[in-house]
Amino acid sequence: MKKRILSNLICGCVLAMIAGNQIGFAKEFTDVNKMDADFVAIDYLSSQDVLNGYEDGSFKPGQLVNRAESLKMIFAGLKTPVPGGYDMDPSKLFPDVAVADWYAPYVALARSKGIISGNQDGTFAPARTVTRAEFLKMLLETVGFKKELWVNQQIFADVAADAWYTPYMNYAGKSGMLSRDSDNKLYPNRELSRAEVAKIIYLTLVIINSQDMAFLSSQADAQISQIENYLSGNDVVSADRSAKLAVDLTQQALKLSSDPSDAEVLSKAKIARAYSLLVSSFVAALESRYGDARELANQTITKADEAWQVNHDTETVTKHLKDKAAEILAQLEGK
């Protein structure tokens, strides 16, 4: 039963139909494909020249990132100018950072702005692999994070109220920059890979650009397209994550719209919601929650109909959504 639902749901995916858009590679990396959980983040950041690949054409998504590389990625992602000769007085760097080091300007700028303060022994340790807590501190301090709003609170099981990283981890967990596990843990001391860094920076940009309609719309399209990619690869977890993010992006765009009845914006929001319902129906069916699966499939059809009523140009994608929901319903008969 479960395999039949999966095979029928992913049959005949129509990626190019999603809101008239289809995500593609900004830069083709030999070791990154559309089925990867962090594909959209890597693709977007590479298109903005924030993250680049290696001479052999690879991106090395699983490679761990060190502290010096982290600063470069953060400043590039946030488009923070880094003057080459910025306060390069050796006495204002760290004992283990030389003026001639490629990362010296990044370290000098970060220290001057209070983004970093170094280790207890006075060093920076540029080659040490960065942890989640360290990376989030550098990232959030760069954007002027108001940490006083998040101190002295134990929200997550492994983030003590009095730890130095508490405000950064608390905010990251509550804002969606990091996902907590089933034990309500965020793992502040876990080392970060290039793919994970890409995801965190990307989600930070989603937050920063929450008032930019063009950004919200383009990234909603990218996430909606990814839902089909993930389902075709049997990755329900990633499909659900993309669906929820697409809903958030389109709902924010709807709030910003000067005309709440704008057909394009409203229909895209309804399509995102329909996809979220469809994925939830699929998950419920896999978990043998047949009543929930049936209800969610019917809600998918209703929401797709609403999108079509608002904007007839969405007929192809809304029909696709309804067909997939109908296939689930057909296989739930008698269950």
What residue has token string 């807590």? 133
pTM of the complete model beyond 0.85: yes
User: What domains sit in the chain, N to C, each tagged with a CATH number?
Assistant: 1-26+212-335 (1.25.40)
What residue has token string 């990283």? 165
Evaluated on CA atoms 21, 26, 30, 31, the torsion sign reads: negative
What does the block give as tokens for 266? 């409203």
Virtual torsion, Cα 156, 132, 238, 170, nearest 10 deg: 30
What does the block give as tokens for 185? 């843990």
- Model confidence at 234, pLDDT cuts 50, 70, 90, reads confident
Q: What is the mean pLDDT of residues 238-262?
A: 93
Q: Sort 4 into a burial class: Cβ within 10 Å, 0-12 / 13-18 / 19+.
A: exposed
Q: What is the pLDDT of residue 335?
A: 79
Q: Is the pLDDT of residue 174 over 60?
A: yes
What does the block give as tokens for 134? 């360290």
- Which residues pair with residue 66 across a beta bridge? 129
Q: What is the pLDDT of residue 232?
A: 86
